[in-house]
Copies of this chain bind each other. A is one copy, B any other.
């Protein structure tokens, strides 16, 4: 089993956590004879932008297309507006490669405590399926009457039947595989009167094909509150691009923080490479200090193994992470410890060799 990976460490803490991710990949190769990863590291980031006026070379997407997988750290730096770093790197990759599923587990790992007083591990174990190519993230829109009191900006949310059906079908088929057989769809059709009623209709249509799945449509405001008050109710939560973005940061917060939250940008048809990345950003405030938590990055490798149909390796990685958390001796500051990024990474690697 031989896989090629395009590695984009990015900015800020991106390269720091990526180093630990690459160590984990090497440990997997060495401890699991037979699987091999060929990594090429791309220097596409905000420095690259400051030098070349673009986030990646003109043929960047073409280059990536030939890899089996993409591994991303985090992108964004103080000198470069976010809407450049993101719109010229992350979003084009998600779209060009039809990575229309953004899969984000909300799961309280062993050894961790939720900040929610009355919730425990059994209460916090679900997955958010976020639409990843359209919706509220559209580059359609613009401004008028600049420089006058009548200036305005319009941004179009674009929901296609094609894009909405495919994400809902994916979410329902995921729900079929899980024990609770329950799907929750985020909406806001009481306030947003064109796109969201359309979304609701398609939820109801796709639901027809899955009579065994209990479906709830909750308005995003209430749903965000339910993440706090009754997370135990959820199994598969499906949401539009923006709503999924908000819910998954919130989800990360209730299971221990952004340093722990992974994501998989998946092209289910496998026509194009899928991309694996932590949910967190480049965190310029702690960059260079060597204290970033590498677990989100490493967990995203476990999601990559699932995508490759290597569930045993996926489990080896998760068990290693959980063992280190249970031991509680080598933790980064965000987890209440004093360890460095590297020390925590080394400890996870040690557990992988022991397994």
B152 close to A154 (CB less than 8 A): no
Q: Which of B156, B222, B241 contacts A154 (CB 8 A)?
A: B156
Q: Which residues of B contact A192 (CB under 8 A)?
A: 136-137, 155, 242
B197 close to A83 (CB less than 8 A): yes
A150-B161, A151-B161, A152-B158 known; A249+B221 contact, CB < 8 A: yes
- Which of A12-20, A33-41, A48-56, A138-146 contacts the other chain? A138-146
How far does the alpha carbon of A87 sit from the alpha carbon of B228 in the complex, in Å? 28
How far does the alpha carbon of A97 sit from the alpha carbon of B198 in the complex, in Å? 29
How far does the alpha carbon of A150 sit from the alpha carbon of B117 in the complex, in Å? 47
Between A83, A159, A198, A246, the greatest number of chain B beta carbons within 10 A of the residue's beta carbon is seen for A246
A83-B193, A116-B117, A152-B160 known; A249+B225 contact, CB < 8 A: yes
Q: What are the interface flags for A220-259 relative to B under an 8 Å C-beta threshold, 1 for contact and 0 otherwise? A: 1110111111000000000001100110111011100110
Smallest CB-CB separation from A256: which chain B residue?
A: B229
Is A10 on the interface with B (CB-CB < 8 A)? Answer: no
A157 close to B158 (CB less than 8 A): no
Kindly report how many copies of this chain are found in the complex they form together. Answer: 2
Is A190 on the interface with B (CB-CB < 8 A)? Answer: yes
For the complex formed, measure the closest distance between the CB of A215 and the CB atoms of chain B, giving whole angstroms: 16
How far does the alpha carbon of A329 sit from the alpha carbon of B197 in the complex, in Å? 43
Q: Which of B220, B225, B227, B258 contacts A258 (CB 8 A)?
A: B225
- For window 63-82 of A, CB contacts with B under 8 Å fall at 76, 81-82
A198 close to B143 (CB less than 8 A): yes
- For window 156-197 of A, CB contacts with B under 8 Å fall at 156-162, 188-197
23 A-B pairs whose Cβ atoms sit less than 8 Å apart in the complex: A82-B219, A83-B196, A86-B191, A115-B229, A116-B116, A116-B117, A137-B192, A141-B156, A143-B198, A151-B161, A152-B160, A153-B159, A153-B194, A154-B156, A155-B195, A155-B196, A157-B157, A188-B242, A188-B245, A191-B241, A222-B281, A225-B257, A226-B253
